[in-house]
């Protein structure tokens, strides 16, 4: 990491967590972001869910909720960037403080509650960058006070159709009461059925935009096969494993370990990777997987890939390891592929 970004990361970590995040986004909008070539390692190019990615390292949803800096993050070297979660109407989210660094554990707890500026702002930001290259996804959610949450997902899909390169259906955040109920069998049938029907109408005779499903790490292993089959039944292109966890490992030592919300970062790596392996076994190559949770190094990204993920996403690790992390991970992945005798990243998928 360059001295400039090392010092910048250190300064930001002295600010309150949410203030540091807001400051980071403002700095990125002003052009103070790292520059890296996402295509520097051709062997890392991969196709995931119908998307051709220059490398398999993506930015997870939550960092850029309002689609304010997607191109700055692409410029940092990410192979793809997922913005959101966005809801139809703007909402303030939960009361502050709601974002906590667990420095001793290299973790983060958030109970943000889908704070965002809504679809109007989000669509304007996507429209403003439509001539730019790079893969940008929209992570869709539901308003907390919505009387028909499934309708909120349909609204997001319709409003952003033709602007986003792919859509992620986020039903796994623990910070909107009752949202995870949509992971149930009956509820998921209704949700994915309505979305599938809407997508078919929107695409017509044209190619459809990919649609992904993001699940919780707290999902019971007995539900994995059912979720895979439902995702395939309704034509989804990939499953993202996984969101933040409501569990608190005994290993946590930070004074903030008791805060409510979703835990992310290093303590989530083992749990999320075990669930990813279960999904890989159940999917058996029939649907693509994206691994999320505790990715903070090339070794951890490679472990997710070998467990069955075609791509990975990260966010919390940026808090502790700085904005050049994505470049470091790509360099490490390239070296690991060569060491193991693989000519490209696809050959390593699921070889654990």
Query: How confident is the model at residue 2, as a pLDDT?
Result: 56
Helix (H, G, I), strand (E, B) or coil at 213: strand
The correct CATH number of 3-348 out of 1.20.1290.10, 3.20.20.70, 3.40.50.10090, 3.40.50.720 is: 3.20.20.70
| Active-site pick, 173, 242, 264, 334 | 173
* Residue from 198, 77, 60, 74 nearest 139 by CA: 60
Whole-number Å distance between alpha carbons of 314 and 63:
10
Return the percent helix, strand and coil in the chain, to nearest 5.
40, 15, 40
Helix (H, G, I), strand (E, B) or coil at 48: strand
Whole-number Å distance between alpha carbons of 181 and 294:
24
Whole-number Å distance between alpha carbons of 241 and 93:
24
Q: Report, as ranges of residue numbers, the positions in the chain whose pLDDT lies below 70.
A: 1-11
* Residue from 153, 232, 240, 238 nearest 199 by CA: 153
142-196 pLDDT, tens digit each: 999 999 999 999 999 999 999 999 999 999 999 999 999 999 999 999 999 999 9
Whole-number Å distance between alpha carbons of 296 and 313:
10
Query: How confident is the model at residue 1, as a pLDDT?
Result: 45
User: What six digits make up the tokens of 90?
Assistant: 């703007």
Domain boundaries, the chain: 3-348
The angle, 0 to 180 degrees and rounded to 10, between the axes of the packed helices 298-306 and 325-339 is: 60
Calculate the alpha carbon distances from 61 to 34, 43, 134, 333 in Å. Answer: 19, 25, 16, 22
Q: State the number of CA atoms in the 13 A half-sphere of 220 facing the CB.
A: 6
pTM score above 0.75: yes
Query: How confident is the model at residue 10, as a pLDDT?
Result: 67
Contact 190, 218 (CB under 8 A): no
Is residue 173 annotated as a catalytic residue, yes or no? yes
Residues contacting residue 37 through CB under 8 Å, at least 6 positions apart: 77
């Amino acid at each position: 990491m360059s001295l400039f970004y090392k010092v910048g990361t250190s300064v930001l970590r002295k600010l309150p967590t949410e203030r540091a995040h807001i400051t980071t986004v403002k700095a990125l909008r002003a052009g103070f972001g790292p520059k890296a070539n996402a295509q520097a390692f051709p062997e890392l190019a991969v196709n995931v869910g119908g998307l051709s990615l220059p490398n398999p390292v993506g930015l997870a949803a939550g960092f850029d909720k309002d689609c304010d800096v997607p191109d700055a993050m692409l410029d940092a070297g990410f192979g793809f960037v997922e913005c959101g979660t966005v809801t139809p109407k703007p909402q303030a989210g939960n009361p502050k403080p709601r974002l906590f660094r667990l420095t001793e554990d290299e973790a983060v707890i958030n109970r943000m509650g889908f704070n965002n500026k809504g679809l109007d702002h989000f669509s304007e930001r996507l429209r403003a960058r439509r001539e730019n290259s790079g893969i940008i996804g929209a992570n869709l959610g539901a308003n907390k006070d919505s009387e028909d949450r499934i309708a909120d997902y349909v609204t997001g899909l319709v409003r952003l159709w033709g602007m986003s390169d792919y859509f992620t259906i986020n039903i796994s955040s623990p910070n909107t009461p009752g949202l995870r109920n949509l992971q149930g069998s009956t509820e998921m049938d209704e949700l994915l059925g309505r979305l599938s029907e809407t997508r078919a109408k929107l695409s017509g005779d044209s190619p459809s935009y990919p649609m992904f499903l993001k699940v919780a790490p707290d999902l019971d292993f007995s539900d994995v096969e059912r979720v895979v089959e439902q995702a395939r039944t309704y034509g989804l292109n990939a499953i993202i494993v996984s969101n933040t966890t409501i569990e608190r490992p005994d290993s946590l030592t930070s004074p903030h370990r008791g805060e409510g919300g979703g835990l992310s970062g290093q303590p989530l790596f083992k749990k999320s990777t075990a669930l990813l392996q279960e999904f890989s076994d159940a999917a058996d190559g029939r649907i693509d997987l994206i691994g999320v949770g505790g990715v903070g190094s090339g070794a951890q990204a490679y472990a997710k890939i070998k467990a069955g993920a075609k791509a990975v996403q990260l966010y919390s690790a940026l808090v502790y390891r700085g904005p050049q992390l994505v470049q470091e991970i790509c360099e490490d992945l390239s070296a690991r592929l060569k060491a193991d005798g693989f000519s490209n990243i696809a050959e390593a998928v699921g070889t654990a």
